[in-house]
Chain A
Amino acid sequence: MNLDPQTTSIKTPLPVGAVLVVGGGISGMQSALDLANSGFKVYMVEKSPAIGGKMAQLDKTFPTNDCSMCIVSPKLVEVGRHKNIELFTHSELTGLTGEQGNFSATIRSHARFVDIAKCTGCGLCEYTCPVTYRSEFPQQTDDDGKKKYPKSKDKRLITVKELPNPSSLAAWTFSVNQEKCGKCGLCSKACLQNAIIWEKGNTANVDSAKCTGCGACFTACPDKFNAVEISNAPELEKSLGAAIVTRSQELRKAFAKNQPEHCIRCGLCAMMCKEAMGINALKLHEQGIEAGVDICQMCGSCISVCPVDYLAMEKLTNRTAQPLLDEFNERLNRRKPVNIHYPQAVPRVPTIDPDSCVQLNTGNCGICSSICGVGAINYRDEINEQTVEIGSVIYSPGFEVSDPKLRAEFGYGIYQNVVTSIEFERLLSASGPTSGTVTRPGDGSHPKKIAWIQCVGSRDHSCNREYCSSVCCMYATKEAYIAREHDKSIEPTIFYIDMRSFGKNFDEYIERAKENKVRYVRAMVSRLYEDPQTGNLELRYTDETGKRLTEEFDMVVLSVGIQVHESSKQLADLLGIAVDKYGFAVTDTFSPLAASRPGIYVSGAFNGPKDIPETVSEASGAAQVASAAIASARGSRITREQLPTERELQPDEELRIGVFICHCGTNIASVVNVPEVMEYARTLPGVVYVDKPLYTCSQDSQEQMRTIIEENNLNRIVVSACSPTTHEPLFMSTIRAAGLNKYYFDMANIRDQCSWVHPLEPDKATEKAKRLTRMAVANASQTEPLQEMEFPVDTRLLIIGGGVAGMNAALSAANQGCSVFLVEKEATLGGNLNTLRQTTDHRNIQEYLNTLITKVRQDERIKVYTSSMVVEHSGFVGAFQTEIITPTGAQRTLKHGAIILATGGMENRPSLFSLGESKQVVTQAEFERMMADEPEKFSLTRHIVMIQCVGSRDKEQQDYCSRVCCNQAVKNSLSFKKLRPEGRVDILYRDMRTYGLGELSYRKSRELGVNFIRYEPEKNMPILSSTEGGLQVLVNDPSIRSDVFLNPDLLVLSTGIKPRDTDELSSMLRCTRNRHGFFIEAHAKLRPVDLPSEGLFMAGTAHGPKNIPETISQAQAAVSRALTILSRDKLTLSAVVSKVDPKNCAVCLTCVRACPYGVPVINAEHSAEINPALCHGCGICVAECPAKTISLGRYNDKNMFAKIRSERPEPQAVEEDIA
């Protein structure tokens, strides 16, 4: 086992500077981006046709309710367009040879049948494909290989009350080629309009006056003659199929408002069946359509081209047809054989499913190929195998949800209104099968009462899933919460065992959900029954008082757990890495991201169930350990981005503004009338080009934007879409790639600030979108090119805090070749680790700590400053300067490029339950030390009582969950049971939050007889009293509904963790902390170790309570993030900085006084000067300068005034707010 990646960085002479990332979910993407941004080539292999993984399927994310797709799509695009990331989608890793530093991986790419290089992702193939069912493919050639049509023996007339009424709308013209005509007269027999003039022995002719264009003659004419010809059919030059689909759409539009109840005898179904599908099962009949029910191949093409919905599968065949279901939408809606995985997919290239595509199975159809404008369809595509050379592998295959059918008592798959949580996620999603309307799959009605049943396929011995899936309590809460956001009348109820909201701000989220009328019932549901008439579901459960209850719900959501996919286990086998009995990776507590085979690293849910931020953090950590081993090869395999030279605009060049109004799927378009805004934008001064992409941010739209800019010679760009905070960098880099200065740009936020907030007022919202666009256009016309400054980067790293996080970060960074300053306030290194003895898997912490300290002390790249404090801090990312005071009282200046805050936490010691007064009352850490250091003391101990959440989750004390205490209590109870097997342990708890694989120890402790008694502070708070016999704890045990008196020899309190005092540090570094004193990350989900200020990162308990492996992986993550800066020679700084025009400067010193950072100085030329590297770009000086001689890039007066003036005063216009 590779115990420590830091020591085993191998000495192969030439490691390969490339990494293979297996899995394209959020974990793989984060690893890939960190690696690619720190000088390594990345090959990413993803099984499905597009990257994005499970996160792309989620609607919102907890606990911030951020839209999942909105936050993940910039990552998708960044991965998709990164020069150093090579994507292998629809591919699998099939072999890995070699060893750490020098692997050779075989990647098998499955046939996609669509050329990624050619495809533009327009989706026309999917739109046009007529197949909607899984066809049975009959043999269509005889023994000689000649084509023949199947013969029907069972015919059925499809008819309705009203007889067919032929419509000649958009009809094609039919004629008989006299030379080809075989004079057989079949056309004349087939024609129902008497429009064929034919006499025996003569050629046939079409009487155009009578012909309605049904094409009966065409299908009737034998293949050997092919004498009937079509003209005046749009798209016929592509293929007959394409023409059929085109006419069908034409007719559909014509009948959209007034759909007839009868067949219009357009004949498209019969032509489609014979000419495109090669079946000939349909024939036009006087009374309707005659179907050969036995020969129907059940592809559904006739149904999809019928413009009046006359046909249906059950009319056409007696067999059961299988609709094609969309896997991305959890099989809740249909898909075509050719389909794009999901709208924002990267790459946005469809795949053709070889199992259901008619062309691939019979050689017929081929419509998609004929309609594709770029010739991207390739029916002869084959499996392709390639070998790549790599130095390390990151294995992050993710998870699948557990099979709900394992709990047969909940009737999943039998009761239609029982769905899984991931299906519900799709129902909530605006881009999901119901466009975000919560409906019952059974009847499409709107459910009112919805129940969530927790722990389906988790914490369940009966289905071999004893572990806790860690995320279900939170996602169920989120789904309930969001469901109510969609429909206020929904009454959600969550049935749970323990509420495991153990993460940062999770408890607050639960509280908010409760305020928002989400009902929580602590009960295990025993089973449920469906009312066959209403489809409602009756839940049976026993409540906490032991009462048996039944309750009816309209819909039930099963909170299914996380499990490792069978194929991931097989691949793990192939890779030769150890997995546990559930398939999760086996790793060492002290190197949590290294798999058992050197050179392979794991992250994400495959490394144990976890949520998105933990996954992202692990992914960064995995990137760090994967690159540490091959650090010497950094930069050897990458290609530098080649940007075209920036086009310099002529001073008199006319304005050519391009405006892009985004639909954002339905996010904007369902409220704002996008075409109307687009037409309006066309009228604005300077606008020469307008477009309305479905998703402006998608890769293909961005590629298009680039071409559009070049082709139309645009010189200013406006995007009316979502938030500039998330998407501006993307658009600006596209503009730059098109050769324009990226500041020739402005964005209007017509989603977050318009469609999302005015969903019920579409007209006003459209009006507002117009005005926002107008302002952005006005501003864009005033923009000027700005240049970003480049600065050399100081590659040294400052780490504040010498605990387990700080030391691990220091060693990791040193291994990556960085010099490190490690500053510790205390005299010794080790921090909180000094107080602990055993990890949850009973490993010796002190041994580990000693090796860690020795390694840190011995590494010459690490300078350790103990008993030292940070007293002053200045500079900027890439060039910081920090003053510290050393024990001698001397000040030292440290220069460095990035900072990792690892200030850690400490044990909380509240004055509760006589802690500190009675010797018999100790904390968990004290108990742990007593057992490790003086085990003999326990020889007579017969009874231990533990109380959880003492001072945690307590409004008066620490109003958050300390996350580690439940596992610590279980660990200590197991240790005690080892010392004194006959000893008794009672644990008084509120919710046992032994998340993830910690549940296994919890289970073991119960098996060993540890007794658990649940209490709620407001109901049955334990009462401690001292009696003559010693301590007495009184608590009401809800499981036996009786008071119990416990007389322990020792009372152990789980008092939780509190952060160290970082008051001064946080104001010095300008890092905000939450009200509990933990640092706030840049983004709760996707930037969990980044601080909001550039160049600052954090790890360990400074971020929030966490255990040792979590802390170590976070430390490695923080280094990974820091390396994206420290591994560069140069860093580009923002171009939006204040600049003084010395011409008008009166040297009044106003700016010098106004600047909150003390940046402006008076130079030798008697003018104020602002160092652009130090300027933060707030613009205070610009506003204060009496001479108006300071400018601030894109926020100049002329920009502001242009925006405001564009708001022309129109009569009756009432308007406010510009800020």
Chain B
Amino acid sequence: MLPCTGRIEEAIILQAFEGGADGVMVVGCLEGDCHYLSGNIRARARVQRVSDILESIGIGGDRVRMYNLSAGEGAKFAAYANEFSEHIDQLGPSIINQVRNTKAEQVTA
């Protein structure tokens, strides 16, 4: 939890991938309805930059997505979470995890 998606910077998202995440969902207020006026717009731009970086280094830009919701849309949040989680399931483990898994197998073998 953060005060605003505007606080999220590229490094935080990239750290998550480095830490083993196969996908990252960033969920902010509805555009035009940001509690801090423009934080979610900045977040969108940053998420896009991270997406570009992920694409260029072969992890895949589609592993990070930004969603916008209001606090009252619990059901929609669940739908988004399921949708994204299915999407990541289809993509499978990120290349970072693939390499790690193989290494882990080699170690156990």
Contacts and interface: CB of A to CB of B under 8 A. Distances in A.
A1113 B105 CA distance: 70
A1219 B42 contact: no
A1183 B20 contact: no
Interface string B27-65: 100000101111100100010000000000000000000
Interface string A1178-1219: 111011100000001001010011001101111111111111
A1217 B24 contact: yes
Interface string B85-100: 1001100010011001
B8 A1178 contact: no
B11 interface: yes
B101 A1183 contact: no
A1219 B20 contact: no
Nearest to A1176: B36
Given A1178-B39, A1179-B7, A1200-B12, 15 more contacts: A1072-B33, A1154-B42, A1156-B37, A1156-B38, A1180-B39, A1184-B42, A1197-B9, A1197-B11, A1207-B21, A1210-B20, A1215-B21, A1217-B23, A1217-B25, A1219-B25, A1219-B26
A1087 to B, nearest CB: 14
B79 interface: no
Interface string A1062-1082: 000000001010000000000
Contacts of B46: 1183
- Residue in B27, B38, B105 whose Cβ sees the most chain A Cβ within 10 Å: B38
Contacts of B20: 1207-1210, 1213, 1215
B104 interface: yes
A441 interface: no
For the complex of A and B, 6 pairs with smallest distance between CB atoms: A1179-B7, A1209-B20, A1178-B36, A1156-B37, A1180-B6, A1183-B9
Given A1156-B37, A1204-B15, A1218 B21 contact: yes
A310 to B, nearest CB: 49
Contacts of A1209: 19-20, 96-97, 100
B11 A1180 contact: no
Nearest to A753: B1
Contact of B2 (A1179, A1210, A1211, A1213): A1179
A770 to B, nearest CB: 16
6 contacts: A1136-B3, A1179-B2, A1180-B36, A1180-B39, A1205-B15, A1218-B24
Contact of A1212 (B2, B21, B78, B101): B101
A1177 interface: yes
A1003 to B, nearest CB: 38
Which among B8, B89, B104 has the highest number of chain A CB atoms within 10 Å?
B8
A1215 B22 contact: yes
A757 interface: yes
A724 interface: yes
Nearest to A749: B1
A225 interface: no
Q: Which of A1072, A1182, A1218 has the most CB of B within 10 A?
A: A1218
Contacts of A1070: 37
Contacts of B35: 1178
Nearest to B37: A1156
B39 to A, nearest CB: 5
A1219 B8 contact: yes
Interface of B: 1-9, 11-12, 15-16, 19-27, 33, 35-39, 42, 46, 78, 81, 84-85, 88-89, 93, 96-97, 100-101, 104-105
A1045 interface: no
* A contact face: mostly helix, strand, loop, or mixed: loop
Contacts of B89: 1214
Contacts of B5: 1219
Contacts of B15: 1200-1201, 1204-1205
A1006 to B, nearest CB: 40
Given A1204-B15, A1211-B104, A1177 B93 contact: no
B43 to A, nearest CB: 8
Interface of A: 724, 757, 1070, 1072, 1136, 1154, 1156-1157, 1176-1180, 1182-1184, 1192, 1195, 1197, 1200-1201, 1204-1205, 1207-1219
A1178 B81 contact: no
Contacts of B93: 1214
Contact of A1217 (B42, B81, B105): B81
B73 to A, nearest CB: 13
Given A1178-B36, A1179-B3, A1205-B19, A1216 B11 contact: no
A1219 B37 contact: no
A1214 B96 CA distance: 12
Contacts of A1208: 19-20
Contacts of B8: 1183, 1219
A1156 B27 CA distance: 19
A1213 B97 CA distance: 8
A1183 B27 contact: no
Contact of B6 (A1183, A1197, A1214, A1215): A1183
B30 to A, nearest CB: 10
Contacts of A1184: 9, 42
A1216 B100 contact: no
A1215 B17 CA distance: 10
Given A1179-B3, A1209-B19, A1219-B2, A1156 B36 contact: yes
Max chain A CB contacts within 10 Å: which of B1, B4, B9, B36?
B1
A1215 B22 CA distance: 6
B10 to A, nearest CB: 9
A1213 B85 CA distance: 14
Nearest to A1136: B3
B6 A1178 contact: yes
- B27, B35, B46 interface centre (most CB from chain A within 10 Å): B35
Contact of B42 (A1183, A1197, A1211): A1183
A1180 B23 contact: no
A724 B23 contact: no
A1207 B99 CA distance: 17
Contacts of B9: 1182-1184, 1197
A1192 B3 CA distance: 10
Contacts of A1214: 22, 88-89, 93, 97
B92 to A, nearest CB: 9
Contacts of A1200: 2, 12, 15
A1216 B90 CA distance: 13
Nearest to A1205: B19
Nearest to A1215: B21
Given A1183-B42, A1195-B7, A1216 B19 contact: no
A1049 to B, nearest CB: 48
B26 A1216 contact: no
A753 to B, nearest CB: 9
B12 A1211 contact: no
A1209 B5 CA distance: 25
A1209 B9 CA distance: 21
A788 to B, nearest CB: 16
Contacts of B37: 1070, 1156-1157
A1216 B33 contact: no
A1207 B81 CA distance: 19
B3 A1178 contact: yes
A1136 B36 CA distance: 14
Nearest to A1157: B37
A1207 B19 contact: yes
A1216 B25 contact: yes
Nearest to B13: A1218
A183 B78 CA distance: 78
B2 A1180 contact: no
Contacts of B19: 1204-1205, 1207-1209
A719 to B, nearest CB: 14
A1213 B19 CA distance: 11
A906 B18 CA distance: 58
A1214 B100 CA distance: 12
A1211 B78 CA distance: 27
